[in-house]
Structure 1
Amino acid sequence: EVLSADLRAVNCFRHLGSQLEETKKMIGKMLLEEFEQISNLYPIIFSLVRCHEFRFLSILREEINATVKNSTKQIVKAQILTHLDADTIGYNPTTLSEHICKLTSPQWDATLLAVVNCLIILCNKMK
């Protein structure tokens, strides 16, 4: 605003607005790269929001989805392994759905409780 109104007559400031905008975009890109690499996110997220760079949200969403899926799969696999019957020949990870269908009601309850506890721990870590 100051550049376009008060300093319009000064030639050296003619392109300063576009240069500042370009610098702001570069800072946003640098912050986005840092966001992907470091663990302390609060200052980086605050800076990205101030620069109106919201692409980090899609990266964060993908990471959270992958973490939740992997954690859930690991917990279910561990629960199935603990509930395998003596007559079951072995565990085959490609037939996870078959093993899940064979769980009894108390085993389902235990598995669901383990998954919920794992997700609560993940949510607490994300705080």
Structure 2
Amino acid sequence: VLGFNYTIRLVPDGRYGSLNRATKEWDGLIRELLDQKADLAIADLTITYDREQAVDFTMPFMNLGISILYRKPIKQPPNLFSFLSPLSLDVWIYMATAYLGVSVLLFILARFTPYEWQNPHPCNP
């Protein structure tokens, strides 16, 4: 239909392409392009200054960064005691026990203190 043939193949050394600073030689995809063994390279290749000096790049096709996908939780209809959900059952039991314990202790202390039964205003009934 388009009038040309193409072959998709992997790079023999399996590398993207990096510059050896000592020998000034490229490897990987960049080497294949420079040696004209390939006309086009398609990869998620990072555009660096050295690579940009050696070959031409198109507009980046991946520019969204890294994302994490997770399943959206299914909303459950709230039940009668859903307000108790933030704390565990043990915490609620400990809080109720502490509340009752402090209430009983205050009642006993108020019952046995002599100042509870004295009226500081004897003229007022």
TM-score, scaled relative to structure 1 = 0.24
Larger-gyration structure (1/2): 2
**Scaled by the length of structure 2, what TM-score is found?**
0.24
Q: Which has the higher helix share?
A: 1
Higher RCO (CA-CA < 8 Å; seq separation 6+): 1
